Homo-oligomer: A and B are copies of this chain.
Amino acid sequence: MTEVRTLGECRTESPLSVLLGDRRTTRHYVDEDDRVLVDDTLGMVQARRDAGEPLVSFEPGGPRRRIYFDPAKTRAAVVTCGGLCPGLNDVIRALVLELHQAYGVRRVLGFRNGYQGFVPSYGHDVVDLTPTSVSGIDEKGGTVLGTSRGDQDPEVVADCLERMDVDILFVVGGDGSMRGAMAVSRVLAARGRHVAVVGVPKTVDNDLPFIDASFGFQTAFGRASESIRAAHTEARSTPNGVGLVKLMGRHSGFIACYAALATSDSDFVLVPEVPFALEGEDGVLAHVRRRVAEQGHALVVVAEGAGQEHLDDGREERDASGNVRLRDIGGLLRERIGADFDAHGQALSLRYIDPSYAIRSVPANPSDSVYCLRLAHAAVHAAMAGRTEVVVGRWHGRFVHVPMALAVSERNVVSESGDLWLAVLESTGQPARFGDAPATVTAH
């Protein structure tokens, strides 16, 4: 399950030692016997031992002494897919610089606008990525390659990669894009082509499993916390003020939780993982009303994917990526809080802030920049060593190779019994559950 596919034997000596200038470099190569444990508690390790199961571990990332591809003859390609995320340009830049400078791979192509870039009918141009062309792009948000949602026919993508003689494809994208990458890889494998398909997992919502945190997440929740601060300022500056902030988070409330903890001014945090009742003495509305009565104001943070059960009208719409279109929980709460205050004859001054895309279109902060750089280095090392259908991630602080199939097998969510959610409960003072909400929530 944690084993990584490899294109073949690594026979070429890595040029890194030459680059780094002396024999001491050798110490930097990954020890081929090194493995990073997936489990992190004594109990988990002992349980496996007791059950006679082997310990599960990931292959660590990093440079190998011997590599699969001959740099002088290798052509790499980069594509960015799906929604924007802080750090995309850092990743692109670091991929290009590492290929050029550490390995001497001079030919790097950039395909434009996601998988559309491989499909001739869209007519997007292909760009050469060089150290000069990527200089300074990390200071800008977005992706210089452009992006798009949705899959394309893997046969058509494979045709393009063959035609362009691509040996290594770096896909920067989310779970849908990784599924697309696997499909392309299998088509190529079936055709007998040895192409390394390596993913750099991207999700501003931090909802990918087996990854400590996704790149750009810190930047995004940091920006989101500014909206919370603004809403708090508004709510506190007026009698009976309620600040309401809607944040990104389709299936996972990480941005809402972290942004709320960053200021610790929030009174209520609503996430997709924890259902809540609106009505009733222990529902959200009554709690908000009472908090305003007690402290003069209240601050509510809601993830966009929260409380969808309150909006369900039996119909379902999907976007180009096949994601279910979310209903507007922010609008619903604004309306319902207003109606509830009205019904109770209580004055209300509600301020609604929805920063939407503004939290994901910014350049990466310094921490994310470093993380993107190191992820990209790990991706290049993996690809040069012939690993394929693999994503690079950080697990327990170590860079590792996670098979793509595993990386898309489930979703990382805020655990209702974990210490992050506990910190939210402690920081907000909100009840563990609002009202008679169902005891468990199924994954969306």
Chain A residues engaging chain B, CB cutoff 8 angstroms: 16, 19-22, 24-25, 27-28, 31, 33-37, 39-43, 45, 55, 57, 60-63, 84, 93-94, 97-98, 101-102, 113, 116, 122, 124, 136, 138-143, 146-148, 212, 218, 221-222, 225-227, 229-231, 233-234, 236-239, 258-259, 261-264, 351-358, 361-362, 365-367, 369-370, 373-374, 377, 396-399, 416-417, 419, 422-423, 425-427, 429, 431-433, 439
B36, B222, B433: the one contacting A24 at CB < 8 Å is: B433
Q: From A42, which residue of chain B is reached at the shortest CB distance?
A: B35
* Chain B residues closer than 8 Å to A116, beta-carbon distance: 239
CA of A302 to CA of B369 in the docked complex: distance in angstroms?
Answer: 20
Q: A36-B41, A84-B233, A417-B27 are in contact. Are A146 and B238 (CB under 8 A)?
A: yes
As for how many copies of this chain the complex holds, the number is: 4
Complex contact B396–A234 (CB within 8 A): no
CA of A97 to CA of B36 in the docked complex: distance in angstroms?
Answer: 38
A143 shortest CB reach to chain B, Å: 5
Query: What would 19 more interface pairs be, CB under 8 Å, given A22-B433, A230-B361, A262-B366?
Result: A28-B417, A28-B419, A34-B42, A37-B40, A40-B40, A42-B55, A45-B55, A84-B234, A102-B426, A139-B140, A142-B236, A148-B239, A218-B366, A229-B361, A237-B361, A259-B366, A264-B373, A355-B355, A397-B397
Complex contact A233–B423 (CB within 8 A): no
A102 shortest CB reach to chain B, Å: 5
* Chain B residues closer than 8 Å to A259, beta-carbon distance: 366
Looking at A60, A98, A352, A423, the one whose CB has the most chain B CB atoms below 10 A away is: A423
CA of A158 to CA of B28 in the docked complex: distance in angstroms?
Answer: 49
A210 shortest CB reach to chain B, Å: 12
Can you name 12 A-B pairs with beta carbons within 8 Å? A24-B439, A27-B416, A141-B229, A146-B238, A212-B397, A221-B367, A225-B366, A229-B361, A230-B357, A230-B361, A237-B361, A351-B357
CA of A185 to CA of B82 in the docked complex: distance in angstroms?
Answer: 55
* Chain B residues closer than 8 Å to A425, beta-carbon distance: 20, 28
Q: A43-B34, A230-B358 are in contact. Are A21 and B432 (CB under 8 A)?
A: yes
Complex contact B357–A356 (CB within 8 A): no
A192 shortest CB reach to chain B, Å: 33
Q: A41-B35, A417-B28 are in contact. Are A355 and B352 (CB under 8 A)?
A: no
CA of A414 to CA of B222 in the docked complex: distance in angstroms?
Answer: 27
* Chain B residues closer than 8 Å to A136, beta-carbon distance: 140
Complex contact B113–A238 (CB within 8 A): yes
* Chain B residues closer than 8 Å to A31, beta-carbon distance: 43
Q: From A356, which residue of chain B is reached at the shortest CB distance?
A: B353
* Chain B residues closer than 8 Å to A124, beta-carbon distance: 239
* Chain B residues closer than 8 Å to A427, beta-carbon distance: 97, 373
Pick the 8 closest A-B CB pairs, nearest first.
A21-B431, A262-B366, A396-B396, A35-B42, A142-B233, A222-B366, A230-B361, A27-B417
CA of A164 to CA of B233 in the docked complex: distance in angstroms?
Answer: 29
CA of A34 to CA of B146 in the docked complex: distance in angstroms?
Answer: 46
Q: A239-B116, A370-B261 are in contact. Are A358 and B431 (CB under 8 A)?
A: no
Complex contact A37–B28 (CB within 8 A): no
Q: From A428, which residue of chain B is reached at the shortest CB distance?
A: B101
Complex contact A226–B358 (CB within 8 A): yes
Complex contact A37–B41 (CB within 8 A): yes
Q: From A427, which residue of chain B is reached at the shortest CB distance?
A: B373
CA of A417 to CA of B21 in the docked complex: distance in angstroms?
Answer: 14
Complex contact A239–B146 (CB within 8 A): yes
* Chain B residues closer than 8 Å to A28, beta-carbon distance: 417, 419, 422, 425
Complex contact A63–B423 (CB within 8 A): no
Complex contact B423–A374 (CB within 8 A): yes
Complex contact B261–A369 (CB within 8 A): yes
CA of A271 to CA of B61 in the docked complex: distance in angstroms?
Answer: 24
B55, B57, B138, B373: the one contacting A423 at CB < 8 Å is: B373
